[in-house]
Amino acid sequence: MAQFAVLYIVFLGIVGHFSKITQSAGSPSLAISPYKDMDLTSGLTSTSITAQKTVMLLHQILLQETSLRMDLEKTVRDLLNEFEQMKKNQMEVKKEQDIINQQLINNIASLRSENQQLKDELGQIVNNSFSTLGMQTCKCDRTNITSDLHDFKREVRQNVSLSLLAFQREMTSIKVSILQTNDNRIGNISRDMFNIQSAFKNLSSFIDSNIQLQASFNDDFLVQQQNISNMMIGTSKKVAFSAIIKHFTSQNEQTVVFSKVLSNVGGAYNNQDGVFTVPISGTYIFFCKITQSSNKYDMLFQFTLNGSAMTNNMVYGRPDHAFRTSSNLIVLQLIPGDRVWIKMVLGGRHYSYGAGGDQSFSGFML
């Protein structure tokens, strides 16, 4: 019975594990809920149809698994009931056998008691005969009595032997009946166990195929989700900025803070520290223009990426030729978190007129 209980517990564990797997199949669909109000009809429709088909297939698989689980549970319950019934039958047979054994013991004891009584009576008769008639007178009677005693012993032994033989036959018949019954039940249990093992193998294959289907579904879903994310990025995530600063004097190794923001789509440029932080992976174009005032010495600025110089740009300084300008445009492949700014390696006086624009820093994502 313990073996059947263990098999039943293992079966319930497998079914519970499979139920968790099948229940988790529907959860990834919640990931696309933030996009339900977006106008992405073509991409979302294809993904929705694929997800619906997969959910329907998983629902059918779950129904098949539920039916198979109910059949297995019924088979296990029937086996347990049959095993209990077989134990009860064996206990009843054992009780009957104990009763028969006790009856035989009582019969043997009764025969022994009667035999002893007969011996005692016979001894008394012999003693009385010797005492009254004498040894010679009772010689013939003693011979007859001895012969009768031997005949009686043979009869008693024969009766006891017959009783024992009948009892042995009866016990043999009972044992044969018990063995046949047990063999039949064991044969039925063996066939049922074979069926259960086959069912478990089928269930294991079913679970393996379902896990593969789940993995395939997850991969397809991630691809679709990535496609949707890319579509959302392409339609809603645009990055661009442009900022200027009017005349000022910069120092060596100073970051130029272009404080007046003309545009900042996506909010990636910070006009407090002059740093542009990349929000989305992609290809970016940056432009910078620096105009010097009447400087005696040259000025030098850099496009800086994460602390490393990408370009060096000279602004020549001549007192007799003021307002010289240097500008440059670069293209960078960036990832989220990258930081870009303008660094004055050699500072000086900067020129600006009117609304400004002689000192500018701009960028956008392709």
208, pLDDT greater than 90: no
- Give the model's pLDDT for residue 16: 56
- The secondary structure of 121-172, three-state, reads HHHHHHHHHHHHHHHHHCHHHHHHHHHHHHHHHHHHHHHHHHHHHHHHHHHH
Lowest mean pLDDT among 99-103, 275-279, 297-301, 338-342: 99-103
- Give the model's pLDDT for residue 168: 76
Q: How far is CA 330 from CA 99, 129, 252, 364, in A?
A: 107, 149, 23, 11
97, pLDDT greater than 50: yes
- Give the model's pLDDT for residue 32: 42
Q: From CA 84, how far away is CA 77, in angstroms rounded?
A: 11
Query: CA nearest 366: which of 327, 339, 338, 331?
Result: 331
Could you tell me the pLDDT band of residue 36, with boundaries at 50, 70 and 90? very low
Tokens 């300008």, residue? 325
Could you tell me the pLDDT band of residue 193, with boundaries at 50, 70 and 90? confident
Backbone dihedral angles phi then psi of residue 192, each to the nearest 5 degrees: -65, -40
Query: CA nearest 87: which of 200, 181, 196?
Result: 181
pTM of the complete model: 0.39
22, pLDDT greater than 90: no
321, pLDDT greater than 80: no
Between 328 and 14, where is the model more confident?
328
Question: Which domains does the chain carry?
Answer: 2-234 (1.20.1270), 240-365 (2.60.120.40)
